A and B are shown apart, each in its own frame.
Chain A
Amino acid sequence: MIEFQNLKKVYESGGQQVAALNGIDLKINKGEIFGVIGFSGAGKSSLIRCVNLLERPTSGSVIVDGHDLTSMSVKEVRGIKKNIGMVFQHFNLLNSKTVFANVAMPLTLAKVSKDAIKKRVQELLEFVGLADKADYYPDQLSGGQKQRIGIARALATQPSILLCDEATSALDPQTTSSILQLLKKINKEYNITILIITHEMAVIREICDRVAVIESGKIIEEGTVFNVFSSPKTETAKNFVSSVMNDQIPDSIKNIIQKHDGMQKVYRINFVGSTAGQPLLSELAKQFEIHINVLFGTITELQGTPFGNLIVEFQGSDKEIIRALTYINQKKISIKEVTAHAS
C-alpha cells in the first residue's frame, strides 16, 4: 500500500520557486495496478520518485506499507527500498555487465549467497522469457528485451511494490503491449502492487484498475479506469480519454450533420456494460415510427466491460422521436443530442 498525504515538492530554480507537487493526497491499495497520467511537467515523475525517495518531498508524507518514509533515517529507507522495485523509461541497465549480472545486482548488493543468486536469477529470466540471454550484454538486446531485463532486476528482491516510470514510453506499440501483459502477469501471480506513471492513455486502458489524472502538481480526477473513461469530468481527462477512445466525430460526418442541420436529429448514444448487449436500435425501429441511420461508432472494452459509443441520426416526426428518447432514457442509456458545432 502506498499513501501520499498532502505531498508537496518545491524546486529552487534560478532563485524562483517551482512547485512540482502541490498537495497530493492519494491512496494506492495493495495488489492493484494504479496509473497516474499527465502531460510532461505535470509532476507525475516527481510523484513516483517520492515513493522511494529518489526525490525528497518538501513537505507531506509518503507512507509505504505503514512506514512513513519521510521520518525514517537514510539507512532505514535503504532497507525499505529492497521492497520497492523500479522500472525506468530508458531501462538504466549496466552496459558493462551481462544480463545475468544486471539481474543479480540487487541481490549482490544485499549480499545474498552466490548459489541463491544463481537460482533466483535463472528463475527471473525464465519468468520474463529471456533465459537464453543470460550471457548477453544489454547492447546486444532490443528495447523490449532490455525492459524485460529491467523488470527482472526490479523483481529480484521479491518486492511488494513495483514502480514503473514511463516504462513503455521508449518502446513501439507492439512491444509496449507485450511489456504491459508481463506487468499484468506479475500483478496476478505475485500480487505485487504496481504504480504506473505514463502519458499514454492506452497504457492505462490496457492494464490499470484505477487511474488518477495529474495536472500542475495536483490530482484533478481519480477513479476506476471504467468510470474515468466512460465519463471523464475534467477537460484534461476528456482529452486523454479521446486520445484513445476514438469518440470524436470525424470531419466527414460533421459535414453531413452541418449540411442537414435542423432537418434531422443526431444523437450520441453511450452503451455501458450489459446495455451494450441489448438490440436497442432495432427495438426503436420496430416500436416507433422512425428511421435510424448510424453515422459513426466505436465499441471498445474497458476492464473487461464493453463500452460503446454510437453517433446516430433519427429521421421521423418530432413526436415519434421524443417518444423514442423517453424509451431510451427509461432504459438508463446515456443519450445526448449532437449539434453541428459540438463534438
Chain B
Amino acid sequence: MLVNSEQIISALIETVQMVAFSLLFSTILGLPLGILLVVTRKGHLLQNLPVFNVLNGIVNIFRSVPFIILLVAMIPVTRLIVGTSIGTAAAVVPLVFYAGPYIARLIENSLLEVDPGVIEAAEAMGATPWQIISKFLIPEALSSLVLALTIATIGLVGASAMAGAVGGGGIGDLAITYGYQRFDTVTMMITVGILIVIVQGLQSFGNIAAKKIRRR
C-alpha cells in the first residue's frame, strides 16, 4: 500500500470539508432558485414568465456542462472568489456551481408535488406570497426536500472525487492518484470502501430524517 493511515484521515477530512461547504453554499444558491422556478411559472403565485424562462435556461446550461469541464472553466471565477485555483477551498467554488442548479431542480420538483389545493386554501385565508412559501409550501414539502438534499449530498461526494483534478484533495483524489494511476489495489479498495460507507450513511440518515418529518 502506497498511502498511510494519516493520509487517508486527512483526505477524509478534506472530503468532508469540501462536501459540507459546497452543500451549504449550493443550498443557499439552489433553495431560492428552486422556489423561484416554482412560483414564477405559469399560473403560479408570482407568475413572471421572463424571470422563469431566464432562470430555467441558466439552470439548464449549468446542468449540461460536464463537471470536469466546469471545473476547469470556472478557474477564473474561483481565483476571483477564493484568491487561488488550487486546494480544498478552491474546489468548493466549481462544486457549488455544479450542485446549486442541481439542487434548484430537485427543490423545484419537491415543491411542485405539494397539493395545489393547499396553496388555494392559503390564498383563501389571505396569506401573502411570502407566507404561502414559508408556512405552506416548504413545510408541506419538507420531507421530500430532505430526500432531495440527500441525493444532492451524495452527488457532491461523487463530484468531490473529481475535484482532485484541481488539487482539491479528498478521498476520491486518493483513489484516483494512488489506486487508479499507480495500480495500488489496496488503496483503491480502502478508499472506495470508505466512499461506500459514507454514501450508505448519508442515505440512511436522509431516509430516517425524512421519515421523522413525515411522522407516519
Listed in ascending order, the chain A residues whose CB lies under 8 Å from chain B are 52, 54, 77-82, 84, 86, 88, 90-97, 105-106, 108-109, 137, 139, 153, 157, 163
Contact = CB atoms under 8 A, between A and B. Distances in A.
A81 B125 contact: yes
A117 to B, nearest CB: 14
A86 B213 contact: no
Given A79-B126, A105-B125, A109-B125, A92 B120 contact: yes
Interface of B: 115, 117-118, 120-121, 123-128, 131, 135-136, 139-140, 142-143, 213-216
B125 A96 contact: no
Contacts of B126: 77-82, 106, 109
A81 B124 contact: yes
Contacts of A94: 118, 136, 139-140
Contacts of B142: 96
12 contacts: A54-B123, A54-B124, A77-B126, A80-B126, A88-B117, A88-B121, A92-B117, A93-B121, A94-B136, A96-B139, A96-B143, A163-B124
B161 to A, nearest CB: 36
Given A92-B120, A105-B135, 12 more contacts: A79-B126, A86-B124, A90-B115, A92-B117, A92-B121, A93-B121, A96-B142, A96-B143, A96-B213, A108-B135, A137-B215, A153-B121
B140 A109 contact: no
Contacts of A88: 117, 120-121
Nearest to A98: B215
Contacts of B123: 54
Contacts of A139: 216
A69 to B, nearest CB: 12
Contacts of B213: 96
A140 B214 CA distance: 12
Nearest to A101: B139
A181 B133 CA distance: 35
Contact of A109 (B127, B139, B215): B127
A220 B209 CA distance: 55
Greatest chain A CB density within 10 A among B118, B121, B131, B139 is at B121
A93 B139 CA distance: 12
Nearest to B132: A109
A269 B120 CA distance: 48
A108 to B, nearest CB: 7
Contacts of B128: 78
A327 B126 CA distance: 61
A285 B123 CA distance: 64
Contacts of B127: 78, 109
The 4 A-B residue pairs whose C-beta atoms are closest, nearest first, are A81-B126, A92-B117, A92-B121, A86-B124
Nearest to B131: A109
Contacts of B214: 96
Contacts of B124: 52, 54, 81, 84, 86, 163
Contacts of B136: 94
Contacts of A157: 125
A91 B124 CA distance: 13
Contacts of B117: 88, 90-92
B187 to A, nearest CB: 46
Contact of B139 (A79, A92, A97, A153): A97
Nearest to A75: B128
A88 B123 CA distance: 13
A92 B115 contact: yes
Contacts of B140: 94-96
A311 B66 CA distance: 82
A295 B118 CA distance: 52
Nearest to B119: A92
Contacts of B143: 96
A153 B121 CA distance: 10
A79 B216 CA distance: 36
Nearest to A91: B117
B120 A54 contact: yes
Nearest to B125: A106
A64 to B, nearest CB: 13
Contacts of A90: 115, 117
